Amino acid sequence: TYTYTCTYTHTHIHIQIQVLSRHGDGYIKNHNSPSPSSHTRVQSHLAVARENALSCMKAITGDSLAAEYLLMCLISRVTERLASLTLGKLALNFSGLHRNFNHAGFISLLSHFVPNMKVINLSVKYLNESAFVPKKDYDIQRLLHGELQLPAGTVIVVNELTMDEGVLQESGIRNLGHLKKLMQSQSLDYDFQYYSAPFETDCPVIILSEGQSMIGSDARVAVGGNSNFGCAEGVSEEMVQGARHYLCPAGGSRHGTRGGVYRAAEAVGGGCYRAPVALPDGAC
């Protein structure tokens, strides 16, 4: 019986295999190494699953570089929190899109690959009238739901293409600040009226915008000249299922970060840590 422990570090996969042998009513660890063929089979299956996922992302984005970033964003999870730095998260901004871009179609395509998704179509009215963070109601002794109160792993799609002209009220400015803080530090300040308390979140963020996003991002990919962005031609149901087999375990796996990355993160202080992304040959 084999137990596989997989650790994904960006695009590199480290696999530790333990061989267990039957002993009485339980199992004991066998320190003999597994056969090279077993190790190779696991690596081969993971490589095929990743290629399926990357092919789907490339079909959606129409570009190899954008596909790599999208894949990394979907499986990104917070690994460490160091003072003001949050490592492991990735907020991705696709910029250069026109207002007539079929954002609903793109979001619908993306929803087939993730278990949970929250779409935020920004507008002046929505920002002014919505409650982005949970708020305590002392009359009924209940914490009221907020738009950004989401389970870990939920992919948040912020659509700035729907933003219109108008005046943001104080509530709208606060909501925009809450969204920006979630993107930057993956935390959300719950409103208890007399005070606020921060709660940790872990939600990848994808932003669609004309220019640079108003809330910022960790990485920005300009796709304005890409007419195939959001088309997803040639994606079969089999490819979608294969991509899910990679995205679900990859997003939920433990990510390792080497000590050199910690030292580099600490050296920049309050700056923004950006994880390196391994790109295919020929990508620029």
Could you tell me if residue 157 is inside a domain? yes
Residue 115 lies in domain: 2-120+153-170+202-267
> How many independent structural domains does the chain possess?
1
pTM score, whole prediction? 0.75
Interval 77-97 mean pLDDT: 91
Nearest to 178 by CA among 147, 151, 155: 147
CB 33 within 8 A of CB 39: no
Interval 221-247 mean pLDDT: 83
- Tokens representing residue 155 in the block: 């992919």
Q: Is 101 left (phi over 0), alpha (psi -120 to 50) or beta?
A: beta
d(CA 28, CA 59): 46
Could you tell me if residue 272 is inside a domain? no
CB 209 within 8 A of CB 220: no
Could you tell me if residue 116 is inside a domain? yes
More confident residue, 209 or 247: 209
- β-pair type (142-144, 135-137): antiparallel
Interval 200-215 mean pLDDT: 95
Q: For 260-273, write each residue's pLDDT tens digit.
A: 555 554 554 444 33
- Residue 97: CB atoms within 10 Å: 23
Q: What is the pLDDT of residue 132?
A: 97
Mean pLDDT (the chain) is 80
Could you tell me if residue 50 is inside a domain? yes
Could you tell me if residue 234 is inside a domain? yes
Res 4 pLDDT > 60: no
23-37, 99-113, 237-251: which is most confident: 99-113
Could you tell me if residue 175 is inside a domain? no
d(CA 15, CA 5): 6
Could you tell me if residue 59 is inside a domain? yes
Interval 249-253 mean pLDDT: 61
- Residue 102: CB atoms within 10 Å: 13
